[in-house]
Copies of this chain bind each other. A is one copy, B any other.
Amino acid sequence: MEKITGMEAAHEVPPKVLLIYEAVEKLIASGEDINSVKVSTITELAGIGKGTVYDYFENKDEIIACSLLYQIKKLTEGLKEICSEKEIFAERVYACLEEIQKQSDKQQCFLRYVHVMTANSGYCQLVRDKMKQKEFEQYLPKRVFEEMTMDGIERGEIKKTILPEYVIYAIFSKLLTYMISVNACETMRTGSEKLRTYLYQSLLDELCEKNV
């Protein structure tokens, strides 16, 4: 049988593979360490036979890598959806920050993304390799921010002095700040609500024309 590559569109994913992806997602959400999760734990949670995963995936690293790519795809789709509901750049940014905080699952996903980008484990390298493939480009969260920026520039919402390609770094960096702060908020005296508002404002100050 043809193996899963992680490049499949959401509707192309076979039902059993979906069960696997969902099992991995649940395990991550429940705080398990992906690296030390057993294949048998995944299959048990997915309610399928242990051998079945090997019909679809080459090995354990592929299982995890493809599961993460699926989560990234879903995140991207979620953000696309959210952005399509807003018209103004500022609102879109805020909606993203809001969305990410609202759903703790997606928080995990975002942190996972950072984790993956900074690690050398077998599956992390694999995820990065797959993300670099042309086929996957359309599923990158980066794309959402890029489009958001293009629109913003076109409408004159974003400062003319800013290099368009930096906008994405600015947004990314703020999101990162937010995520880390929220994650570390036990030790932070300020609430996440207040912080979000502050971050949102400082991001807009940095990127947007004042009168907008």
Contact = CB atoms under 8 A, between A and B. Distances in A.
Nearest to A112: B118
Contacts of A180: 114, 117-118, 169, 172-173, 176
Number of copies: 4
A124 interface: yes
Interface in A149-188: 163, 165-166, 169-170, 172-174, 176-177, 179-181, 183-184, 187-188
Contact of A206 (B32, B120, B195, B202): B202
Interface residues of A, number: 43
Counting chain B CB atoms within 10 Å of each CB, the highest count among A33, A118, A184 belongs to A118
A199 interface: yes
A120 B124 CA distance: 15
B166 A181 contact: yes
A190 interface: yes
Interface of A: 31-33, 35-36, 111-112, 114-115, 117-122, 124, 128, 132, 163, 165-166, 169-170, 172-174, 176-177, 179-181, 183-184, 187-190, 195, 198-199, 202, 205-206
27 contacts: A31-B120, A33-B121, A35-B35, A35-B36, A35-B121, A114-B114, A114-B118, A114-B176, A114-B180, A115-B115, A115-B118, A117-B180, A118-B183, A118-B184, A128-B184, A166-B195, A169-B177, A169-B184, A169-B198, A170-B202, A172-B177, A172-B180, A173-B173, A173-B177, A173-B199, A176-B176, A202-B206
